[in-house]
Amino acid sequence: MSEQVNTSVNEPGDERSEELAESSVTRPDMSAPEPAEEQHAAVPPSDVDTVARAEETPERELPYAELGLKDDEYARVREILGRRPTSAELAIYSVMWSEHCSYKSSRVHLRQFADKAPQSDALLVGMGENAGVVDVGNGWAVTFKIESHNHPSYVEPYQGAATGVGGIVRDIISMGARPVAVMDSLRFGPPDVPDTRRVLDGVVRGVGGYGNCLGLPNIGGEVVFDPCYSANPLVNALCVGVLKPEDIKRAIAPGPGNKVILFGAGTGPDGIGGASVLASATFDEESQQKRPSVQVGDPFMEKLLIECCLEIFAEDLVVGIQDLGAAGVSCATTELAAAGTGGMDIDLTRVPLRDATLRPEEILMSESQERMMAVVEPAKVERFLELCAKWDVPATVIGDVTDTGRLRMTWHGATIVDIPPGTAADEGPVYERPYEPPADLAQLQADGPGRLPRPVTAEDLRNTVVWLAGSPNLADKSFVTSQYDRFVLGNTVLATPEDAGVIRIGDGPQGIALATDGNGRYARLDPYAGAQLALSEAYRNVATTGARPLAVTNCLNFGSPEDPGVMWQFARAVEGLADACQALGVPVTGGNVSFYNQTGSTPINPTPVIGVLGVHDDVNRRVRMSFNIEGTTLLLLGETRPELGGSEWANVVFQHLGGLPPLVDLAAEAALASVLVTGAREGVLNAAHDLSDGGLSQSLVESCLRGGLGCVISLPDDPFVELFSESVARAVVAVYPEHEERVAALCQAAGVPVRRLGTVGGDAFEVEGLFSIPLSELREVHQGALPALFG
């Protein structure tokens, strides 16, 4: 039987192959892929594991353990298929059921985001699609999502970070949107560890190299250093896109007879096993040997894909579309088929290759970048291929949608895959992993910052202000962000170091604001509060620019889910985030979980990174952080408590982590936001800056240096607490004297404590009766720190 199948593989009379060959587009310029027949002529078909052969040789052992499947998972595959899988089917199940693709450890917890989702009229597409979509009014919708590329960025920092940007941008294109901006949330080891320079330099070049070449402004993000990220950096990339609500695209393959088109870059050997091996295993000494597993990016091809897709969408040429990311062709075919009519026939021989020696299993697992898969009605295929040719984007019809309920794939005519697609895409294993608080948590929480000696004298206080301003986490990040284009597309209203990135939509005046935040130190002390504090800060940052917070995305970076302590951190963080989103009325629209962030058995600090999207009715009303008007009055909004657990003061001065993080107060956060948004709308705020890491001291330093003017303030209570506490729901605003009364009234109406701090002016940061620090001195330490470390 199998012999018969095999003799037919190179049969030129195969009607379907010929039909497909005609519709294949040859690229007019450089590196045109060879026609598929020639590519595969060298592959002897006799060693291909076909379905027929699998039925004949049930006893044959397959390397499922090496591919990451557990014994019981493999047994389930056999049960689903009623036979042993072929090696190609095993490839599909192993990547689709990997932690990265199936969310098998996190799924039971993530349900809370849906169960506790606040009522929101704005939500057009929720979790589960490539990215969530929210209605921002006036006929516009916005799609945004953040995703991790942590492990690849340690192995190969440049390509890991670059393809992290590329992947999230394709998610946004897949929704039918034009990408309009990117952000990046980065975590590295301590600056004085030599390897940090390698990782930071490569990651920053990668983020910039890809994003700049793609023509997307980088409008914000974070750069944080901590020993826990030494051998496990975090690279979380966010992309936001804009579209009309009626143009939303879905990852579905409906309509039997419709054509499946693979377009974009050729499929190569890069990233094979990337999803299942790299993202689902802990690093050890062998990680250097995994270099070929990291994908290689081509931002030029991605730029062509963006423009090509937008023209294809404008002519309404697709019924479904999906980008190829982790698990490549396996993921795209199973997910499209499972969400559509249910069946698909694919001729893998048709996939254009960069390496003619690739076997079908490798084609299925390859994570080559810059590829998309579209489902197109037969009458529209010709026009689709014409537009691809216009943009020099190779495109090939590789199969058809069917109503068989089966995903079938052939290789030179022989069937090598025949599975119900939903079993791979949606019915992966689900684990309720055991969890309990980390053994050292109680001890950590008991070791509060109260035992740390505080600066008492005026000189000690002054020196602490300067010390913090020049510490790596609080220092100016221009060394990093000046490597990113923030101007391209001409709609960037605000970018780093402002509290949030702000982008104008359409011809204005409408716009959006975006901020990402996450504090692993807080989350280590209390993951439930830590996740809420990350949301609080991002929410506050968006509101500080005057935008109304609307929706949330998240990237949950944790250690191994097989460690009960880590699983407990994860469960608590998800619960905290879901509860806080409900309280603040901002739904989670999508996100990403990254497990196995650890070195040996030591996990990173749990690091939920939260992105908040806000809306500006009129971006001309946005509020900036800079103090640039002499004589404006400084007001402190919110309540300051002696909260220094997990603070930057404790970190910088004592490398201390212990106690409890600041108290979460979501009601106060919402009240503060309402004052900031109303104040911006009424034009009574000249400047506003949120208080977070480093407290009031750091916020004033940043706003003074940004605007070029100093300030004189008075601190009647405990100046140490007032300067360095990290209590939430606080912001400092600069207002013209004639608006003081109005801002005070807004605060009173919202129940937000307000206190007059002092005035803007001069060329020093002065606290009356205590100290005066020339801005030139602060500028030198603040702006000089990172260039001195990495320049």
Decide if 739 is catalytic: no
CB neighbour class for 312 (10 Å; exposed up to 12, middle 13-18, buried from 19): buried
Give per-residue burial for 717-754: e unless 16+ CB within 10 Å, then b: eebbbbbbbbbbbbbbbbbbeebbebbbebbeebebbb
Instruction: Compute the least distance from the CB of residue 33 to other proteins, in Å.
Output: 17
Residue showing tokens 């500080």: 544
What gap in Å lies between CA 749 and CA 204, rounded to an integer?
45
Rounded (5°) CA angle 665-671-674: 140
And the tokens for 334?
């199973």
Contact at 8 Å (CB) between 239 and 145?
Answer: yes
Instruction: Supply the DSSP string of 258-269, one letter for each residue.
Output: PEEEEEESPB-S
CB neighbour class for 699 (10 Å; exposed up to 12, middle 13-18, buried from 19): buried
Contact at 8 Å (CB) between 585 and 539?
Answer: no
Per CB under 8 A, residues contacting other proteins are 205, 208-209, 212-215, 298-301, 303-304, 391-392, 481-493, 504, 508, 619-620
What gap in Å lies between CA 123 and CA 695, rounded to an integer?
34
Instruction: Compute the least distance from the CB of residue 492 to other proteins, in Å.
Output: 6
Contact at 8 Å (CB) between 648 and 726?
Answer: yes
Instruction: Supply the DSSP string of 530-549, one letter for each residue.
Output: HHHHHHHHHHHHHHHTT-EE
Instruction: Compute the least distance from the CB of residue 512 to other proteins, in Å.
Output: 14
Instruction: Compute the least distance from the CB of residue 236 to other proteins, in Å.
Output: 21
Distance between start and end Cα atoms, the chain: 66
The catalytic position among 40, 109, 149, 151 is 149
Q: Name the residue among 700, 683, 678 with its Cα closest to residue 691.
A: 700
And the tokens for 786?
């990172």
Radius of gyration of the chain (CA): 27
Cβ closer to other proteins: 213 or 712?
213
CA 38 to chain CA centroid, Å, is: 40
Residue 444 one-letter amino acid: L
The length of the chain is: 791
Q: Name the residue among 651, 594, 744, 551 with its Cα closest to residue 125.
A: 551
Cβ closer to other proteins: 493 or 700?
493
Cβ closer to other proteins: 299 or 530?
299
Instruction: Compute the least distance from the CB of residue 169 to other proteins, in Å.
Output: 14
Cβ closer to other proteins: 336 or 493?
493
Cβ closer to other proteins: 359 or 616?
616
Instruction: Compute the least distance from the CB of residue 737 to other proteins, in Å.
Output: 25
Instruction: Compute the least distance from the CB of residue 396 to other proteins, in Å.
Output: 20
Instruction: Compute the least distance from the CB of residue 479 to other proteins, in Å.
Output: 9
Cβ closer to other proteins: 492 or 569?
492
CB neighbour class for 469 (10 Å; exposed up to 12, middle 13-18, buried from 19): buried
Q: Around 511, how many Cα atoms within 13 Å sit in the side-chain half-sphere?
A: 27
Decide if 149 is catalytic: yes
Instruction: Compute the least distance from the CB of residue 350 to other proteins, in Å.
Output: 25
- 3-class DSSP assignment, residue 330: helix
- The H or E element containing residue 615 is strand 607-616
The catalytic position among 40, 100, 616, 656 is 100
Cβ closer to other proteins: 194 or 490?
490
Instruction: Compute the least distance from the CB of residue 215 to other proteins, in Å.
Output: 3
Cβ closer to other proteins: 162 or 723?
162
Residue showing tokens 């694919």: 346
Contact at 8 Å (CB) between 504 and 511?
Answer: yes
Cβ closer to other proteins: 496 or 633?
496
Cβ closer to other proteins: 83 or 205?
205
Contact at 8 Å (CB) between 570 and 431?
Answer: no
What gap in Å lies between CA 659 and CA 525, rounded to an integer?
7
Q: Name the residue among 527, 694, 516 with its Cα closest to residue 605.
A: 527
Instruction: Compute the least distance from the CB of residue 300 to other proteins, in Å.
Output: 3
And the tokens for 323?
């980008």
Report in angstroms the alpha-carbon separations of 207 from 149, 236, 416: 11, 10, 38
Rounded (5°) CA angle 334-181-271: 40
Instruction: Compute the least distance from the CB of residue 30 to other proteins, in Å.
Output: 8
Instruction: Supply the DSSP string of 32-67, one letter for each residue.
Output: PPPPHHHHHTTS-GGG---HHHHHH-TT----TTTT
Cβ closer to other proteins: 21 or 488?
488
Instruction: Compute the least distance from the CB of residue 739 to other proteins, in Å.
Output: 22
Cβ closer to other proteins: 108 or 389?
389
And the tokens for 146?
């953040």
- 3-class DSSP assignment, residue 348: helix
Cβ closer to other proteins: 323 or 485?
485
- Residues annotated as part of the active site: 100, 149
